[in-house]
Amino acid sequence: MDVLGYFNVKRPDVVHETIDGETVIVNLENGVYYSLRNSGVDVWNLIESGANFEDLTAEISNRYNGDAKDIESAIRELLITLQQEGLVQVSSTRRSGNQTPKSPIAVGPEKPGFEIPILEKYSDMQELLLLDPIHEVDEEGWPHKEEDSDHASVDKG
């Protein structure tokens, strides 16, 4: 797997939400959902902004106390896993309008210790998520009433 280029969430097949320090990610193609916590939430948010590997390692190193090589290795492994799971894609160019958010550099004990981000995978609701018709959304949104050209609408008012 490649970690060169700019990372983006694989839309519209992947949706996510961050609540109380946990990012829940759902792959609507296969019904599997995932969880990221701690530094993983920060990595995901940087991916959402279209960050590249350099951006990710620099920003996470700025936000957490830890060995730079350990941080780089952990981020590389997470990016490979996210690609294997079909949650992110790599592009040779940054999407227009996306800028990697820069955090203020914290010094001393103010920075939390770096914890290796772990992507937790769950398939216990796979059948239910695949049954939900909302995963078949097009540009017009959902629900979308299809017009039947063979039948004229009748006003019953």
Tell me the per-residue pLDDT of 92-146, one tens digit each, with 9 for 90 and over: 887 655 555 555 444 556 889 999 999 999 988 777 766 655 555 555 554 445 5
Residue 129 counted as domain residue:
no
Is residue 156 assigned to a domain? no
Q: What is the pLDDT of residue 80?
A: 96
Neighbours of 148 (CB within 10 A): 8
From CA 54, how far away is CA 57, in angstroms rounded? Answer: 5
Show the domain range for 12: 6-94+112-121
Establish if 104 belongs to a structural domain: no
Cβ neighbours of residue 135 under 8 Å, at least 6 residues apart? 28, 29, 129
pLDDT category of residue 25 using cuts at 50, 70 and 90: very high
Residue 80: CATH number of its domain: 3.90.930
Q: What is the CA radius of gyration of the chain?
A: 20
Q: What is the pLDDT of residue 92?
A: 84
Top mean pLDDT of 10-19, 71-80, 97-106, 145-154 is at: 71-80
Asked whether residue 134 is assigned to any structural domain, the reply reads no
Q: Is residue 12 part of a domain?
A: yes
Q: What is the tally of structural domains in the chain?
A: 1
Q: Note whether residue 139 is domain-resident.
A: no
Assigned domain for 141 exists:
no
The pLDDT of residue 93: 82
43-55 CB burial, b ≥16 within 10 A, e <16: bbbbbbbbbbbeb
Tell whether 142 is covered by a domain.
no
> Quick one: pLDDT at residue 4?
82
Task: Give the C-alpha separation, 71 to 55, whole Å.
Answer: 12
